[in-house]
Amino acid sequence: MTVTHKLLALFRVDKEMHGLQARLNAAENFLGAQTKLLAELGAQSESYQAQIRQLTASESNAEGESNRVTVHIDDLREKMNNASTNKEYKALLSEVNNLKEQRDEHDREAMTHLEKIEELKSELGEVQEKLDEREKVRTVAESERQQRSDEIADQLAELRTKREDLVADVPVDALRVYESLLKSRGEEAMAPLEIADRKRHEYVCGSSMMSVPVEVAASLIQGKLTISPNDGCILYLTEEVEEELAGAFKK
């Protein structure tokens, strides 16, 4: 088995592992997105609750002030009933009227707070509904992620063992080139050589789809590690193309 054949076997295992891992990653990404949305909704809910608490305290203070002023007004009215002079009566009446304006202001403030509280409670209710719905989605997402993980665990373990055996059989220099390309190009680390025109000895890199010289095909048929001159991937031969090239180069 040539070094290219060994790398191709390793490449196919890596692609299979990547495919399995991609399924798990997709499930994990979905779960992560749901968790993030839950956190955002939770923060929004806490913000509404904090505003409601603050406004409730402010409304209570305004109502308390209104009640305090009312008590004072009642005391002044009692004094008005017992006023001994017209001047004293008018002075008390003026103070009562001023206090009424203050009480009205406190009442308006309290009402404004109450209206805002009701508005926030309505918005909080909507957020809570979204939280409940999103929590259900997150629960399903978590279950699916665990299911995916369980489904591929044995397969990945088998493939890792198989990969270790394959790696041990690949020359160090070739493995270094392959690992570097796998890291930078992923599933495009290797590509097949394609025959554009057999009679004219025209060949194409299966990655860049650009033509390569006949020497590249010759190098591959000789079993040498061959890098595409176009984009730097490792080229390999499919069984069908290898049979065709073997016949062509014998002639």
Q: What is the pLDDT of residues 27-84, one digit of tens each?
A: 999 999 999 999 999 999 999 999 999 999 999 999 999 999 999 999 999 999 988 8
Same domain, 190 and 152: no
Domain closes at, from 119, 134, 168: 168
Same domain, 151 and 246: no
CATH number at residue 57: 1.10.287.1490
Whether the model pTM is above 0.75: no
Same domain, 12 and 117: yes
**Does the pLDDT of residue 119 top 70, yes or no?**
yes
Q: How far is CA 164 from CA 108, 131, 161, in A?
A: 77, 46, 5
Are the beta carbons of 191 and 205 closer than 8 angstroms?
yes
Structural domain includes residue 179: no
Residue 195 Ramachandran class (φ > 0 left, ψ -120 to 50 alpha, else beta): beta
